[in-house]
Structure 1
């Protein structure tokens, strides 16, 4: 006779429901710090509820989603989980900001093979911090424990942001014309783009996170979280909304591919390489990897995380206003006509 087998549980299959519950308990106070006007129901329900603030006369919802990419591989290898959540938030809220949207709320998706409550809490702590810094509420998300889907100690992240803008104040780049000035807002590092190449260069250079890099551990420089431009830019938009004709978030594709996304065909952004000094991290990466200039400007942000196109007559006033909000601002170049049918960026 076949011997009766012991009954199986979800824990036997690799899913720990109690750990999931413990994580929710750890998350709730973090999310509570991000609450803002409009939140009707947040974490805990099947769906989060948010009411568009009544100050909007003709609200247009603007949404964005993104991840952190292979920067997560360094987070695993170097055991640095506390800032990748900031990256996750920044990649989405900076994207919707370029259309003039105020981020309202954020949801995250955390997937792993085996849930570590401590690691997940560090990650979500970073997400909550990113939401606080950008003024949006963390009102929901999903933690998925899927045995066999991910190697031990690894996880994946995705984020979803929803914002609102007045219909009459949407920024679409259509008014950009020759003679307009291109301003660049400094990045905080490599942000969350180009890390497949960056990791290859680290491997070639036999680099270690603890090694000195101009007075800082290299790991701190490489893992510096993505800069959040939301509050400074929104503050300046209140006074210069009509004058800021276009905004571009410099992510994958760098300066060469992202700036043309806000230009009409036949226009060219002419950027002058001596207008800003490339941070030491990028100079070191270029040297160690033997990376060509064009490749650098297509893969990395090279020190510029956000671009604004403004009228020449307002360039200095807008630059001063952004600096007053704590931003480092460079006048990168100007908009010109070009013979190409597609919009383009050139670095001179």
Structure 2
């Protein structure tokens, strides 16, 4: 018997590597040493930072993968994977440096895998983050036909003096919410339950967009505009709105003794979320703690800096709203949304 008889095609794996090499190379930065194919990926930090603090993150895209596989849309799910990692490390003011991916499947389909990795490479390119390595695992009997799984790993760096850790946050600081592109990559177990119960209406119009397109819209990459913003403004804190929604993410960067007062009327619930809430009969409190509800990233800004920050956000073409403020919290619930 051969390895191929057992379900693993080494030749297909080799073909995959050759096809993704040009896609991956477009994401490289000057600090990358060597290329694909080594046992370890090399990255030279010596020329850029004086006191670098490394910030690392890892994530996946949850059951949005199931929807991607169901719809046969494999070219943007890799952007989601990158975004979920790089947006997280960005919260501490760090610049994503390099990224590694893990792709696992039962039987390697080269075209599908190239589409997925191509999306990962594109996401890295748009974030200025080098895709310098990864792993493709073909594991017969672990996954059903057409199924695959993804994980991503990112390393970023920030000067120690520029690290954002919430220490500057004060009562009276303003919360500025930046628009999401949709549900991003969170809450999809609920999304799919509602979508299935509604009869999978992929072509249903939601705000001028087909429902399938709205649900599969890739997660917004905030890295480049926010890094530019950080060069000009002394932001007090930032939050990436992921699992846990608005209720549980912003408070993670707020010191003890302080809380949040969020005004839900400050922005309109985007059509895709409105459909999910109506079709699934989802309570407001469940919406706030499951979805981003149209706010993908939040800045904590001193009141006297608000106008300047908003002007730059407009210049950077980031839709945004003043959605609340930091308040003193005297025990009990620290987050109020109303």
Q: TM-score range by the shorter chain?
A: over 0.9
Aligned to 1:62: 55
Q: What is the distance in 2 between the residues matched to 1:260 and 1:145?
A: 40
Structure of greater Rg: 1
**Alignment match of 1:122 (pick from 85, 109, 115):** 115
SS of the residue 1:75 aligns to? helix
2:310 paired with 1:323: no
Aligned to 1:113: 106
Write out aligned runs for 1:1-348 (5 A): 8-52=1-45, 54-240=47-233, 243-340=234-331, 344-348=334-338
SS of the residue 1:42 aligns to? coil
Shift of residue 213, structure 1, vs aligned partner: 2.9
SS of the residue 2:50 aligns to? coil
Shift of residue 22, structure 1, vs aligned partner: 0.5
Shift of residue 184, structure 1, vs aligned partner: 0.4
Q: What is the distance in 1 between the residues matched to 2:192 and 2:161?
A: 43
SS of the residue 1:159 aligns to? strand
Shift of residue 207, structure 1, vs aligned partner: 2.7
Q: Which has the larger displacement, 194-203 or 319-328?
A: 319-328
Q: C-alpha offsets along residues 296-315 of structure 1, whole Å, 9 cap, x if unaligned?
A: 00000000000110100101
Q: What is the distance in 2 between the residues matched to 1:177 and 1:292?
A: 31
Aligned to 1:5: none
CA contact 1:112–1:155 (8 Å) conserved in 2:
yes
Structure 2, unaligned runs of 5 or more: none
Q: Which has the larger displacement, 295-304 or 314-323?
A: 314-323
CA contact 2:259–2:328 (8 Å) conserved in 1:
yes
Structure 1, unaligned runs of 5 or more: 1-7
Q: What is the distance in 2 between the residues matched to 1:15 and 1:105?
A: 29
Shift of residue 53, structure 1, vs aligned partner: 5.1
Q: What is the distance in 2 between the residues matched to 1:55 and 1:38?
A: 9
